[in-house]
Structure 1
Amino acid sequence: MRVAVLGCGFGAQHLDWLSQHPEFELDTLCYQHNRERAVELADRYGIGNVSADALGTLGGRGIELAVIVTPPDTRQVLVQAALDAGAFVFADKPLSNSLQSATELAALAARAPQRCAVNFQWRTHPAVREIRDQLAEGVGALHRVHASFYHDFYRGLPDSWRQQPASAGAGTLGDQGVHLFDLLHWLIPRDWSSVAASTSAVRQDLDTRALAPAAGRTEDLAEVWLREPESGCLATVSLSRLVCGVRAIEFEIQGSERTLQLRLQADDASAELTAHAGDGSSKTARYGPTSLDPYPSLLAAMAGRPDPDGLLAGFEDGVWAQARLAEAVALAARTQHALPS
Structure 2
Amino acid sequence: MSEPSYDDADLRVAAAAAVRAPSMHNSQPWRLRLSEGAIEVLADRSRQLAVADGAGWALRVACGAATFNARLALAARGTPAAITLLPRDADGDVIARLTPGSPRPPTYPEQALAAAIPRRHSHRRPFWPDAVPSQARVELIEAARAEGAWLDLLVGMGPLTVFAEIAQSADRVLRRDPLYQSELTAWSHTDGGPDGVPVTAGAPAAEPHDLLPQRDFGEHRRAPGRDFEPEPLVGVLGTMGDLPVDQVVAGQALQRVLLTVVDQGLACSMISQPIEVPAARDQLRRSLRRSGSPQMTLRIGYGHPGRPSPRRDLADILATDDPTGR
TM class by smaller structure: under 0.3
TM-score by length of 2: 0.27
Which structure shows the bigger proportion of residues in strand conformation? 1
Which structure shows the bigger proportion of residues in helix conformation? 2
TM-score by length of 1: 0.26
